[in-house]
Amino acid sequence: MLWFLAGLAMSAGVLGCRLPGRPAAGDTPQRPDQVSDFLTLYNGNCAACHGINGQHGTAVSLGNPAYLAYAGIDNIAKVTAAGIPGSLMPAFAQSSGGLLTAAQVQILARGMVTQWGNAQMASSGVPPYQSQSEGDAQRGEQAYAKACLRCHAGGAGSLLDPSYLDLITDGGLRTIIVAGKPEEGMPNWTGYGGPPIEDGEIADLVAFIASHRTPGAAQTTQYKPDSAASQTAEPATGPKDTSR
Ligand code: HEC
Ligand code: HEC
């Protein structure tokens, strides 16, 4: 709650009420670890990959209400802090070698859910974030033909392309199948033309799609938030995150 009040106080400051302790224009700029405004943190650290307002990015659409209902504050904070090994998602928490404080990670996770989320969606039977079942690739192939093929035809550049799959984890596939990318026309778990798809079917789809992965097909490069411009990235060697 305090962070929220602090946010209100800061916007009041922007509107001109001079608050005690708030630096006047011309004072030394805020230290990076003191930044507590959600959008400043988001735009400075996340928008490059996840898009302005969490849309149209190359990675998961974090501004998608279905995604926010699916993942929730705690999972978002955990991933933001620790990153996703074997993918381009960096670890941001100082405790994991990043530049953000634990408080800043919380501001980001809460800001997304409260500013971009939709409370109604959060209570409407979203599949679990952690799959409860083992996927079966053969069943997944049938589900793929039924639910996906009409939009994702085969061939180079398809979802089954090993160099695409080398850049996304199983958890990342699950996320996109559940949450979609509404701003691009990719449906969410309710929108594949039949009844909403369920946990087991999602696991089958992920198993089928992931069975086309060839490790090393693309050179995964690890992004370093503090030195991206000045360093040549090295290929990441960590194992794929299959925990989700
Ligand atoms: C109504 C058409 C439609 C259907 C049905 C559909 N998709 Fe998509 N999908 C899209 C569009 C459009 C995009 C975004 C364009 C793109 O990234 O290529 C997309 C993107 C994706 C992505 C992200 C690709 C990327 O470039 O990051 C994945 C993964 C995906 N779809 C999986 C699936 C799976 C699995 C199914 C079946 C359960 C499915 N889609 C069904 C239209 C569809
Ligand atoms: C260099 C690109 C990059 C930057 C910068 C980046 N991300 Fe990501 N992020 C990714 C990719 C790629 C994935 C998907 C990884 C996968 O699972 O394959 C991802 C995944 C995530 C996920 C998990 C999605 C899921 O499946 O639940 C969250 C949450 C997330 N990012 C939050 C953030 C936040 C918050 C920031 C800024 C503090 C940020 N990211 C900055 C690339 C990036």
CA–centroid distance, residue 13 to ligand 1 (Å): 43
CA of 25 to the centre of ligand 1 (A): 47
Q: What is the pLDDT of residue 158?
A: 82
Cα(166)–Cα(181) distance, integer angstroms? 20
pLDDT of residue 214: 83
Residues at CB less than 6 angstroms from ligand 2: 45-46, 48-50, 59-60, 62, 71, 76, 79-80, 84, 87-90, 92, 108, 168-169, 171-172, 175, 223
Identify the sign of the CA torsion 108, 110, 111, 117.
positive
Within 13 Å, how many C-alpha atoms sit on residue 191's CB side?
A: 13
* Residue 102: how many other CB atoms lie within 10 Å: 12
Give me the residues of the chain with pLDDT under 70, please. 1-27, 154-157, 217-244
**Ligand with minimal distance to 44 CA:** 2
Instruction: Look at residue 47 in the predicted model and tell me its pLDDT.
Output: 97
Sign of CA dihedral 178, 182, 186, 187: positive
Which pLDDT score is estimated for 30?
83
Closest CA to 196 of 219, 216, 178, 222: 178
